[in-house]
Structure 1
Amino acid sequence: MRFINRCCSYISLIFISLIIGNLAHASAQESHYTIPHSSQSAKIDGDLTDPIWQNARKIELNLVNSPWNNEPSPVKTEARIIENGEMIFISFVAYDPEPEKIKAFLGDRDSRWNDDIVGIKLDTFNTRRLNYEFFVNPFGVQHDGINNEMTGDVNRAWNGIWDSYGKLTEQGFQVEIAIPYNILNFENSNDIKTWAFELVRLYPRDSRLRISHTPLDRNNNCWLCQAPELSGFKQAKGGKNLMFTPSLVAAKNQSKDIFTPGSDWQSDSDSELGLDIRWNINTNNLLNATINPDFSTVEADAGQLNINKTYSLYYDERRPFFLDNADYFTSNLALVYTRNIADPDFGAKLTGTQGDHSYGLFVTRDKETNFVIPGNTGSEVASLDDESNSAAFRYRYDLDEYISFGALSTLRKSDNYHNYLAGLDTKYKLDDSNTIKAQWLASNTEYPEDLYQSFCYGDSDESCDNATLVECSIGQCAYTEQVHRTRKSGEFNDNALVASFVHESEYWEIEAEHQSIGQDFRADLGFITSADIKSNRLAVDRYFYGDTDSPWQELELEAQWQIKHNEKGELLEKSWQAGFNIDGPMQSYFELTFNYDDKIGLRHDESLLAIDGNTSRFTEKMANMYAKIQPVAQLEIDGELKLGKKIDYRNNRLGDYREYYAGIDFNITQKLLTKLYYTNANMQYDDQDVYTVQLTELRVSYQFDVQSYLKLSVIYNDVDQNPDNNPLKTVNKRSNSMSTQLIYAYKLNPQTVFYLGYSDSSYQNDYLANLEREQRTFFTKISYAWMQ
């Protein structure tokens, strides 16, 4: 009997070992997939009845890796993938036990990220550095972008030309996607290719679940590095690799002098032809060119408060020429900010990858020359009424998955002005959780001799031209910091350095950063708003997680310390921040932070750059509370409240500050969306108002289908100021402005478009009883992409 028991035990152990071995083998197989090839194609209509799907590889998405830690998915999702040498086909069947709760609305491209969506991520070079993203909601609304693992940036504005269709079903919804190879960059060879990929479903209910077919380790901050591999693509070819997009733009502009009663409208009409060329030289290299482009027909920028600000405002790029492969030019600092290029006559861009090497180069000629003048207490934008040439070059070498080296250079040049910049950078991943990044830069600049006069203000008779730099007090002097930063004779040079250590794991995120930007360092093609500054920063975040049955999903405790000096070692700022945020039910989010900042105000004598003995120090104490919630699928509400002590920079004193914000996104129907945002900011000193600003933004869009929409935007800015409580500045009691824009658009694809629109702007101050319209424009644009 003992012998029989032993034999049974041995047999059981062998049986269990075989099971474990088979499971391990199955697990190993799931980290590597093969994509089938077919000579067939599919009609992208969401029906999934084409014969090609019978031979496709089936993959189930059964794991939730955010906010849950690789827990089983509560819903079933089946995906299929196959290719035919010209494009990749992906289908999803997304089951839902409560299909009436599916969040799905019609909208413009890239506008429905918060809906139920499914999609694929593709790293076509398998370097774990960049990946394409293609997602679709249940109505077929496309979302795409490029994720840069090196910088952590996601370029959501990138738009490829691909096909998709989605539809609701009784069991949930299903989607078909076709991605042509000619919009992708990949190794050009006849060999079997291996790409990294991930299939994802975003399932927004009480929490927003990220559902995948592969587990992800939270202790590895690179999720792309953990994506499984997909082999095949032997017959993949670019196909139609040359695209011409001619465009015609016609506009009628009208303006009038609103301060002269009875003024008539002055009109001028303009029509221009333009041409964009996109040439896939091969699957590794892309050439873009544009001739006489028009960038006026983009959607209006979001409103921003622009009072009591000492630094320039940042606006996102929206123009297609600059967005295509824009990720090739990113680095640790914002050294390529193409909104500086205002009105180019032409442009050309070459981007590509070869093995471990990637590069990007673009050149443009601009009718204007705009750039930021940085400082250590503020920045301003300079404009030269001269044509200029701009260029950027970026190169990166990925030694392996852990270390990479890069070089970047930019150029701006016009008459009596230039800015040349060059630098090196590196990223070294010590292990899955720890990374070191560094970048060193040098610049050479020359300004026009009279540029400083653009920054001469004040009410006194003293002039910036006074060579003795006579002493003058705040508000009564012609000087600002930018006069000093631009009053240069001949060329000047300086350097910048940024280095950081980042630890990202399941429970901790720690970042230590050092920046040193010389007083004469300039990056005029970028968005660098500080100079003459040395900064050290330490941020520590601790994460806690709820389980699948918990009403909250993630709690974060955060703390941050930062100190800034100028190059002479004079203290500019010392700040502390602490707070927490939590994700709760109904996709709610709550954040509370406290800030304690020891900062300088304006210089007492603006003719001197000195800090010590020439500035007053103030202690800002601010509490900031933010919350958002989605009680039903159609409605999202958020709000913010800021209270505390804040510097009144225009009068160089500490005031009582209050700001509150409220926003509503309401999908009235599946086609009609209304967004209303309101901000109210109030500064008081000695229990009296200094200013009150009210910013109201209304955006209404009606989406006829996935290709056409009608959008209305109204932005109203109401500024009330108290002249009796602004002793250092002469201010208008009121200063109101309003801009409106109405656009109809039809987009067959991102390049084949038709726009018809109207925009205007109005203004009011103490000399005008009402808002007076001072400018209006009627415009139309048509472009068509021809592919060869």
Structure 2
Amino acid sequence: MRSQIVFLFLLLSVYAFSQQETVEVPASIASDDPVTIGQASGAPVIDGTIDPAEWSAASVFETRYETYPGENSRPVLRTEVLLMSDETNLYAAFRCFDEAGKVRATVARRDDILSDDNVRIWLDTFDDRRRAYVFAFNPFGIQQDGIYTEGENLPDYSVDFVHESRGEIHEWGWSVEVRIPYKSLRYKAGDGALWGFNFVRNIKRLNSTFDAWMPQDRNRSGTLVQHGRITGFGAIRRERTLELVPSVTVRETERRVRNIPGPKGETGNGPTERFVNQPVEADLGLTLKYTITPNITLDAAINPDFAEIEADAPIVTANLRFPVFFTEKRPFFLEGAEIFTSPLDVFYSRSIIDPDAAAKLTGKVGRNSFGFLFAADGAPGKFEEEDLNDPSVRPRIDEFVGKKALFGVVRAKRDVGKDSSVGLFGTARSFPEQRNFLGGIDGRFRVDDSTVFTFQAVGTHSRRCFFEPAFDPVRDPAQAMRNSEICGGSTFNAYRTGNGIGYYARAQKDGKTHGWQAEFIGRSRFYRADAGFTERSDLNDLFLYNRVNKNPEPDAALVSLRSFQFWSAQYDFRGRFQNMFTGANVSFGFQNSTSLFVETAFRAQKIYEDEFGISRNPGRDGAFFGAPDRLTRQSRTFAIFSSAPVKQFSVRIRAQYNYNAFDFDFGAGRYPRVSPAAISGDPRLDPGGGRELSLQASAEYRPIEPFRISVSYNRTSLKRFDTGLAAFVSDITSVRSTYQFTRFMYARIRLDYNSLRRNASGQALFGWSPNPGTAFYAGYTDDFNYNGFSPVTRLYEPGFARNSRTFFIRASYLFRKTF
């Protein structure tokens, strides 16, 4: 009770702070009058040192406003940007004045500079206030680039564009020079063409201050709608550009495989597994990009996938019911990805696992944006050699061996008004015995300066295997046999037609000291988006939140204070209760980039046996031991502390306690099931409540400019109330270290350890990448257990045992021809 009173006091304090007098933005600084940029008489040398003679034709812009933490106040430090254009390039130069020795800068990898001081250019090249290129640079001129889509919180920095930049640190501060080829962009040009434009400077040591050319009205939602405009693009030469990136990957892999049974199922007198040194593989790939017009691009690829360079971060998989979303890393799918995004994630490029070939056409004509994508994925038809040669397995997979899953995606959007749009989406995936089609509409409408409404509605049609928990093989043995033949041996997966719907609606209002959001999302039981990502179907979810905060104060000990209050209710499409939770949080921002976040929430969660397996009837047991449904009332509290007090060091700590969290009784790695049913020898699931504790800590240290090392630790445990036994204890430790020899050349070592499987994996990598498309990598990966469990037999193995290891070399080169 005492903690709840304290938390209520904090919320009331936030509300009181939020009532302070606001600062109005003068109308004069919100002018939309475009600025004509200068025309270069000659190309400047991009070396980081700004030569006044070379930049004499440039238009000069200054940061006039500190937009965070201050509210359009006068910047503490002066920043200038010089901008000019010629027939083929846009040139920018930054002068960032600062005190000697206080600049935060490291020799970092590309796309890893935002912990340094940096400057950023925003280019809305169609002036539609919906999408913009973002180019960021640290004081050494190292790049981070991406795409910002209006309505999103942050830019997508996963995509890379070819451009040139250099930076220098001086006694008076630092400078950066930039050349952005127009052929790296999609844009509109010609006399009178306007581009949305803004530039910002981010100063880390000053509470991550943002200074900008244009002001930001905190009572107005949106980012691009508050940017200025530039013009002067009438002299751009109209060109077509062809890019070819051939690649070769050579790898040698050793791994453990199971022995193939003999005619009667025996493996002989030998072991049930063996370590195989596979033949050296050489994969050739080719990626093509053809700029048909400045605003329409054709991309094509043959064998573009290569996953060894960037591995997904390890996650806790224990007690996990639903799939996890992983971000895309493959360049072919990153280019133009923003056109294929939607609230329901109806297209998820990682559903295309190993494409043999793919093609994509994207562009914008007038107010219409479009995207078409086709891919042939060979992964579903690939099987391990031991399965192909196993007479007990081969009959079940014969129909699929060597087959490809075919994907098709169609996307169209039309701009409506100043900041609204409507669109159509269609996807298809086809594989033997699996067909899925999806179609729908979506839109985003600005109601007023601070309110936006977003929606999506889709329908799906599938011919595939669906799990039928009520099906009884005894009553329909013929259908049971058909199910088993088509659906991989499972009699409860019925091969049938299924139609579904999905919907999304969100209203959001943003203000300086107050905001709210109402979101309603649902997917029916037979909703399937095989080309997309679906965490869960058969669920309706209503989510509401309210936000209050005080205006940030840059010079105060407490820089910012914000609170969210939230409530959610979930029901399935049969009207059964699933979840309800409510809670509140408070976020404190202090000096030296230090913050504290505290949240408490209460939840009621109900689960049903037909969500986990077969349902019971008078002639058989169901999936659950005991009652067919379970309900827990949970309370959760967690806190996050983060700080970057000096440029060499940053730290983040997250701690969480969840009272009466469900153990779904799956077992986890080396931890067997510990429910009463499991202890009594009953194979049925017996979910129950327990105490869940979680601690995550990470730190990064940069003792010298080229070197950085980061360590993260994640411990999660769950102990049941009814048996007093641990359902699992998971420890995941990760170490990353990188030495950047130059801007383009680096060496990296990665090591991950997972205690559930007592498994470790590591990678040593050397990389050189002077620009997107041209690269050389050489690496070694290793995966092994210590006192762990065999990935083949699942049996305990004392001591050290290697699972696999791979040595690989990859090289690619960008050929670029303009005509």
Q: Could you tell me the TM-score, scaled by structure 2's length?
A: 0.84
Cα deviation digits, residues 466-506 of structure 1 (max 9, x gap): 35599xxxxxxx9xxx9999833332211111111111111
Write the letter of the residue equivalent to 1:427. Answer: R
From 608, 629, 641, the equivalent of 2:615 is 608
* Paired position in structure 2 for 1:659: 694
Is 1:629 the equivalent of 2:651? Answer: no
Q: Does the 8 Å contact 2:68/2:552 carry over to 1? A: no
Q: Does the 8 Å contact 1:151/1:332 carry over to 2? A: no
Distance 1:587 1:447 in 2: 52
Q: Residue 128 of structure 1: CA displacement?
A: 0.1
Write the letter of the residue equivalent to 1:287. Answer: L
Unaligned stretches of 5+ in structure 2? 1-24, 260-270, 382-396, 478-483, 617-621, 666-685, 790-794
Distance 2:436 2:283 in 1: 31
Distance 2:491 2:777 in 1: 43
Q: Residue 185 of structure 1: CA displacement?
A: 1.0
Q: Residue 602 of structure 1: CA displacement?
A: 5.0
* Paired position in structure 2 for 1:743: 765
Write the letter of the residue equivalent to 2:226. Answer: Q
Is 1:204 the equivalent of 2:170? Answer: no
Distance 1:240 1:356, change over 3 A: closer
Q: Which SS does the other structure have where 1:691 is aligned? A: strand
Point out the more displaced range, 119-128 or 54-63: 54-63
* Paired position in structure 2 for 1:781: 810
Q: Which SS does the other structure have where 1:234 is aligned? A: coil
Distance 1:228 1:744 in 2: 42
Write the letter of the residue equivalent to 2:83. Answer: I
Distance 1:693 1:56, change over 3 A: same
Q: Residue 552 of structure 1: CA displacement?
A: 2.1
Distance 1:452 1:85 in 2: 60
Point out the more displaced range, 295-304 or 109-118: 295-304
Is 1:303 the equivalent of 2:310? Answer: no
* Paired position in structure 2 for 1:16: none
Distance 1:496 1:69, change over 3 A: same
Q: Which SS does the other structure have where 2:505 is aligned? A: strand
Q: Residue 256 of structure 1: CA displacement?
A: 2.6
* Paired position in structure 1 for 2:13: none
Distance 1:147 1:486 in 2: 45
Q: Residue 25 of structure 1: CA displacement?
A: 11
* Paired position in structure 1 for 2:286: 275
Point out the more displaced range, 598-607 or 190-199: 598-607
* Paired position in structure 1 for 2:783: 761
Distance 1:159 1:176, change over 3 A: same
Unaligned stretches of 5+ in structure 1? 1-22, 371-381, 457-462, 471-477, 720-734
Q: Does the 8 Å contact 2:29/2:214 carry over to 1? A: no
Distance 1:469 1:770, change over 3 A: farther
Is 1:647 the equivalent of 2:662? Answer: yes
Distance 1:44 1:717, change over 3 A: same
Point out the more displaced range, 292-301 or 634-643: 292-301
Q: CA RMSD in A?
A: 2.8
* Paired position in structure 2 for 1:215: 215
Cα deviation digits, residues 566-590 of structure 1 (max 9, x gap): 1111101111121111111110111
Q: Any residues of structure 2 matched to 1:647-726 within 5 Å, and which? A: 647-650=662-665, 651-686=686-721, 687-719=724-756
* Paired position in structure 1 for 2:36: 34
Q: Does the 8 Å contact 1:65/1:216 carry over to 2? A: yes
Distance 1:436 1:89 in 2: 37
Cα deviation digits, residues 525-573 of structure 1 (max 9, x gap): 1111211111111111111123232112221111111111111111011
Q: Residue 153 of structure 1: CA displacement?
A: 5.8
Distance 1:321 1:635 in 2: 35
Q: Does the 8 Å contact 2:539/2:572 carry over to 1? A: yes
Distance 1:141 1:362 in 2: 32
Cα deviation digits, residues 675-729 of structure 1 (max 9, x gap): 100011111124442321100011111111111111111110002xxxxxxxxxx
Distance 1:384 1:565 in 2: 37
Write the letter of the residue equivalent to 1:629. Answer: S
Between the two proteins, the alignment pairs up a number of residues equal to: 719
Distance 1:395 1:150 in 2: 18
Q: Residue 393 of structure 1: CA displacement?
A: 1.2
Q: Any residues of structure 2 matched to 1:196-275 within 5 Å, and which? A: 196-237=196-237, 239=239, 241-257=241-257, 260=271, 263-275=274-286
Q: Any residues of structure 2 matched to 1:379-394 within 5 Å, and which? A: 386-394=403-411
Q: Which SS does the other structure have where 1:186 is aligned? A: coil
Q: Percent identity?
A: 24
Q: Does the 8 Å contact 2:38/2:58 carry over to 1? A: yes
* Paired position in structure 1 for 2:16: none
Point out the more displaced range, 384-393 or 195-204: 384-393
From 743, 752, 756, the equivalent of 2:774 is 752
Distance 1:600 1:500 in 2: 26
Q: Any residues of structure 2 matched to 1:248-647 within 5 Å, and which? A: 248-257=248-257, 260=271, 263-369=274-380, 386-447=403-464, 466-468=473-475, 487-601=493-607, 603=609, 606-608=613-615, 614-645=628-659, 646-647=661-662
Q: Does the 8 Å contact 1:420/1:444 carry over to 2? A: yes
Q: Residue 32 of structure 1: CA displacement?
A: 2.5
Distance 1:262 1:519 in 2: 41
Q: Residue 166 of structure 1: CA displacement?
A: 0.8
Distance 1:213 1:484, change over 3 A: farther
Q: Residue 239 of structure 1: CA displacement?
A: 4.1
Q: Which SS does the other structure have where 2:101 is aligned? A: helix
Q: Which SS does the other structure have where 2:237 is aligned? A: coil
Q: Which SS does the other structure have where 1:73 is aligned? A: coil
Write the letter of the residue equivalent to 2:204. Answer: P
Distance 2:730 2:27 in 1: 64
Q: Residue 38 of structure 1: CA displacement?
A: 2.0
Q: Does the 8 Å contact 2:692/2:718 carry over to 1? A: yes
Distance 1:606 1:299, change over 3 A: closer
Q: Residue 773 of structure 1: CA displacement?
A: 1.0
Cα deviation digits, residues 350-377 of structure 1 (max 9, x gap): 000011100011110001249xxxxxxx
Q: Which SS does the other structure have where 2:56 is aligned? A: helix
Q: Any residues of structure 2 matched to 1:14-163 within 5 Å, and which? A: 31-49=33-51, 51-97=53-99, 99-152=100-153, 154-163=155-164
Write the letter of the residue equivalent to 2:230. Answer: L
Q: Does the 8 Å contact 1:150/1:427 carry over to 2? A: no
Q: Residue 263 of structure 1: CA displacement?
A: 4.4
* Paired position in structure 1 for 2:388: none
Distance 2:491 2:556 in 1: 55
Q: Does the 8 Å contact 1:151/1:330 carry over to 2? A: no
Distance 1:705 1:247 in 2: 23
Q: Residue 257 of structure 1: CA displacement?
A: 4.7
Distance 1:218 1:263 in 2: 63
Distance 1:486 1:436, change over 3 A: farther
Distance 1:441 1:328, change over 3 A: same
Q: Does the 8 Å contact 1:469/1:607 carry over to 2? A: no
Cα deviation digits, residues 60-87 of structure 1 (max 9, x gap): 1131101210111110111110001111
Distance 1:124 1:240, change over 3 A: same
Q: Which SS does the other structure have where 2:55 is aligned? A: helix
Write the letter of the residue equivalent to 2:209. Answer: L
Q: Residue 452 of structure 1: CA displacement?
A: 5.6
Q: Which SS does the other structure have where 1:225 is aligned? A: helix
Q: Does the 8 Å contact 2:544/2:566 carry over to 1? A: yes
